[in-house]
């Protein structure tokens, strides 16, 4: 049976979801954790610079499957570790933590500082992830014994401090050279205030990097330019700090490039960070009144020359101005922004539509259903996007984008698939922070399940949602969302058969795993399931 035959119009009130969005006035805070990473480098016999990077296991909750440099978060025990010396270019005692509401894209270069335990954190993470460790004097340990200590550290059977206590040497921070400080963008459930350090580790060192444990699944030495080219070809995923380091190391090396390494301004579009995880997909997390735990909605600049702006979301004037300034900077750097595209009509996706349209004098395109819903708010669209439409954005390389109509969360919801690099911009089809609300009459559970199934069938390399970071779990993420909804639907059906016929009667049983303050939204999900079950003839 086709989805359009399963629509129901039995519920006619204003969607609760939109009402909740309109009342969001304060944004929840996201904690920021100090962290450190080390960039090992060496020279080949021919004098070429190589760096050692690693790939995080896909099972990792934060950026699993992405390429990075060895590192991790500061532990409470790191400050108690006795180490020799301190890194250069990073004065001790100057502590400048960002506040929870800091917007990293708006900040200039953060001060270099050395908070207590940070150097020990960097050395500990380096040893745990690669097995190499600079020390104040030669280690009196065999390779086998060192591996045993490393295994015990990874198993948390031993602390870093306890490992060094019996020996005459100490972990040595003096070879570390400060190479920049970066903040995780505010779209992520975990944010890190990360300092990078360079470490010269020659090929003739007796201990060379090796993989151990479950956090990483690959490590390799290669020239920075080769690593960057792999990203340009769409073969690997890496965050802006990694790409910045690779590019500077390729062009200037670890010594002449130190000033550029320490400055993050080259990775900006004016006041906003140029967060380009995939070639041709720049992400702008914009502060919006959205559904917690999300605090931002992701807008996207899609294209590598000719480009479109997807979901200029923020209603806040200061945030809108930062977006406009960033778009001006993008145009100065060669971007030709031709249109605004909308995934759907919800208020946390359209707040800056009119401001951007006026500023850039460009048209707004959306699905016809989205246009109909926006017209009641006095917002018009200039053209329609439809299912199966192909758009080629000129650039180096050109991007071929397919429009997919994916109703369910909203009747005119669209996803955009970059066929060139196999990237799906998913809007509110999924979220990597929380669930997706299906709220009748605009929300339709049957349509939503079918949309998930169709997008799961795409050969996507990465999926970028509107809320939260991108995910490599495709089609697993889509399948998990669909399975979870069907499991919940079976609970609704069972409750109905037991004599409970309304969402208010069912909610405590069907949503026993959520706190009572979530029940109003949960009841709208139950209504969506009831509508689908009635249309299918099961109740």
Q: What does the pLDDT average to over 181-210?
A: 91
Residue 394 lies in a domain: yes
Location of structure tokens 């708006």: 106
Range(s) of the domain holding residue 371: 3-27+270-474
Residue 491 lies in a domain: no
The domain boundary, picked from 264, 281, 314, lies at 264
495 contacts: CB under 8 Å, gap ≥ 6: 505, 506, 509, 510
Q: What does the pLDDT average to over 423-440?
A: 94
The domain boundary, picked from 200, 230, 264, lies at 264
Same domain, 253 and 275: no
Beta bridge partners of 299: 284
pLDDT-based confidence at residue 1 (cuts at 50, 70, 90):
very low
Location of structure tokens 């778009």: 327
Token pair, residue 7, equals: 């629509």
pLDDT-based confidence at residue 95 (cuts at 50, 70, 90):
low
Same domain, 124 and 236: yes
Q: What does the pLDDT average to over 232-255?
A: 95
Task: State how far the alpha carbon of 459 is from the alpha carbons of 237, 392, 396, in Å.
Answer: 16, 19, 22
Q: Are 343 and 427 in contact (CB under 8 A)?
A: yes
pLDDT-based confidence at residue 291 (cuts at 50, 70, 90):
confident
pLDDT-based confidence at residue 22 (cuts at 50, 70, 90):
low
Residue 384 has pLDDT above 70, yes or no: yes
Residue-level pLDDT at 324: 98
Same domain, 53 and 171: yes
Look up the pTM and report it.
Answer: 0.89
Output the CA torsion 106→111→112→115 (10° steps): -100
Dist CA 391 CA 508 (whole Å): 47
CA–centroid distance for 364 within its chain: 26
Residue-level pLDDT at 5: 42
Tally of CB atoms within 10 A around 461: 18
How many domains is the chain partitioned into structurally? 2
Question: What's the whole-number average pLDDT of the chain?
Answer: 90
Residue-level pLDDT at 30: 67
Same domain, 86 and 208: yes
Residue 49 lies in a domain: yes
pLDDT tens, position by position, 525-536? 999 999 999 999
pLDDT-based confidence at residue 100 (cuts at 50, 70, 90):
very low
Same domain, 152 and 199: yes
Tell me which residue of 365, 370, 369 sits closest to 382, measured CA to CA.
365
Alpha helices in 233-296 (DSSP H): 240-256, 258-262
Residue 484 lies in a domain: no
Tell me which residue of 355, 321, 320 sits closest to 340, measured CA to CA.
355
Dist CA 204 CA 141 (whole Å): 18
pLDDT tens, position by position, 205-232? 999 999 988 899 999 999 999 999 999 9
pLDDT-based confidence at residue 13 (cuts at 50, 70, 90):
very low
Residue 256 has pLDDT above 50, yes or no: yes
Q: What does the pLDDT average to over 269-279?
A: 92
Residue 245 has pLDDT above 90, yes or no: yes
Token pair, residue 80, equals: 């108690």
The helix/strand/coil state of 266 is helix
Residue 26 has pLDDT above 70, yes or no: no
Residue 535 lies in a domain: no
pLDDT-based confidence at residue 12 (cuts at 50, 70, 90):
very low
Residue 28 has pLDDT above 80, yes or no: no
Residue-level pLDDT at 29: 61
Same domain, 121 and 179: yes
Q: What does the pLDDT average to over 474-493?
A: 93
Dist CA 197 CA 329 (whole Å): 29
Residue 356 has pLDDT above 70, yes or no: yes
Sign of CA dihedral 250, 251, 257, 260: negative
Same domain, 222 and 279: no
Q: What does the pLDDT average to over 180-197?
A: 88
pLDDT-based confidence at residue 96 (cuts at 50, 70, 90):
low
3-state SS, one letter per residue, for 165-186 = CCCCCCEECCCCEEEEEEECCC
- The CATH number given to whatever domain includes residue 414 is 3.60.15.10
Residue 537 has pLDDT above 90, yes or no: yes
Same domain, 164 and 119: yes
Residue-level pLDDT at 2: 34
Residue-level pLDDT at 59: 83
Residue 531 lies in a domain: no
Residue 48 lies in a domain: yes
Q: Are 250 and 88 in contact (CB under 8 A)?
A: no
Same domain, 258 and 306: no
pLDDT tens, position by position, 134-163? 999 988 888 888 899 999 999 999 999 898
Residue 473 has pLDDT above 90, yes or no: no
pLDDT-based confidence at residue 128 (cuts at 50, 70, 90):
very high
Q: Are 323 and 300 in contact (CB under 8 A)?
A: no
Q: Is 376 left (phi over 0), alpha (psi -120 to 50) or beta?
A: alpha
- The CATH number given to whatever domain includes residue 126 is 3.90.79.10
Residue-level pLDDT at 123: 97
Dist CA 264 CA 181 (whole Å): 8
Same domain, 305 and 357: yes
Query: Omega into 293 within 30° of 0, i.e. cis?
Result: yes
Residue-level pLDDT at 218: 95
Same domain, 384 and 470: yes
Location of structure tokens 């246009």: 371
pLDDT-based confidence at residue 20 (cuts at 50, 70, 90):
low
The domain boundary, picked from 474, 507, 532, lies at 474
Q: What does the pLDDT average to over 240-256?
A: 97
State residue 214 phi and psi, 5-degree precision.
-105, -5
Same domain, 249 and 166: yes
Percent of the chain with pLDDT over 90: 75
Q: What does the pLDDT average to over 34-45?
A: 96
528 contacts: CB under 8 Å, gap ≥ 6: 438, 439, 440, 443, 444, 445, 448
Dist CA 498 CA 236 (whole Å): 52
Q: Are 481 and 440 in contact (CB under 8 A)?
A: no
Residue 166 lies in a domain: yes
């Amino acid at each position: 049976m086709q989805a359009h035959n399963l629509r129901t119009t039995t519920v006619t009130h204003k969607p609760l979801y939109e009402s909740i969005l309109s009342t969001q006035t304060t944004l929840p805070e996201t904690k920021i954790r100090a962290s450190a990473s080390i960039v090992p480098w060496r020279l080949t016999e021919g004098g070429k610079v190589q760096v050692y990077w690693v790939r995080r296991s896909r099972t990792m909750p934060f950026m699993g499957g992405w390429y990075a440099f060895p590192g991790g978060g500061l532990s409470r025990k790191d400050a108690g570790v006795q180490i020799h010396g301190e890194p250069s270019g990073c004065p001790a005692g100057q502590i400048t933590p960002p506040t929870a509401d800091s917007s990293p894209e708006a900040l200039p270069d953060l001060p270099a500082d050395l908070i207590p335990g940070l150097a020990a954190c960097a050395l500990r993470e380096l040893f745990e992830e690669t097995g190499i460790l600079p020390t104040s004097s030669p280690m009196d340990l065999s390779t086998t014994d060192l591996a045993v200590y490393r295994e015990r550290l990874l198993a948390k059977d031993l602390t870093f401090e306890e490992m060094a206590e019996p020996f005459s040497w100490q972990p040595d921070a003096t070879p570390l050279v400060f190479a920049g400080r970066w903040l995780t963008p505010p779209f992520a459930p975990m944010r890190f205030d990360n300092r990078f350090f360079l470490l010269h580790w020659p090929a003739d060192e007796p201990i060379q990097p090796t993989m151990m444990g479950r956090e990483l699944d690959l490590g390799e030495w290669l020239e920075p330019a080769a690593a960057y080219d792999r990203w340009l070809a769409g073969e690997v995923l890496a965050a802006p700090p990694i790409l910045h380091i690779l590019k500077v190391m390729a062009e200037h090396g670890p010594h002449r490039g130190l000033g550029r390494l320490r400055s993050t301004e080259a990775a900006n579009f004016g006041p906003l960070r140029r967060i380009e995880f995939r070639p041709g997909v720049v992400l702008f997390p914009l502060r919006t009144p959205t559904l917690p735990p999300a605090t931002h909605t992701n807008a996207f600049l899609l294209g590598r020359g000719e480009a479109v702006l997807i979901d200029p979301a923020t209603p806040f004037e200061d945030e809108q101005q930062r977006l406009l300034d960033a778009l001006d900077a993008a145009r100065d750097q060669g971007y030709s922004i031709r249109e605004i595209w909308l995934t759907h009509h919800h208020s946390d996706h359209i707040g800056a539509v009119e401001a951007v349209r006026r500023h850039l004098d460009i048209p707004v395109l959306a699905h016809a259903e989205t246009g109909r819903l926006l017209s009641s708010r006095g917002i018009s669209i200039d053209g329609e996007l439809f299912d199966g439409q192909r758009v080629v954005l000129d650039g180096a390389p050109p991007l071929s984008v397919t429009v997919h109509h994916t109703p369910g969360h909203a009747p005119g919801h669209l996803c955009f698939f970059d066929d060139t690099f196999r990237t799906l911009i998913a809007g509110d089809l999924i979220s990597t922070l929380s669930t997706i609300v299906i709220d009748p009459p605009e929300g339709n559970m049957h349509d939503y399940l079918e949309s998930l199934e169709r997008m799961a069938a795409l050969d996507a390399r990465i999926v970028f949602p509107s809320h939260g970071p991108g995910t490599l779990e495709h089609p697993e993420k889509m399948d998990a969302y669909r399975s979870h909804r069907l499991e919940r639907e079976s609970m609704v059906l069972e409750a109905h058969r037991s004599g409970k016929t309304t969402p208010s009667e069912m909610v405590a049983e069907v949503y026993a795993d959520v706190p009572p303050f979530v029940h109003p939204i949960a009841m709208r999900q139950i209504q969506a399931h009831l509508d689908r079950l009635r249309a299918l003839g099961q109740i």
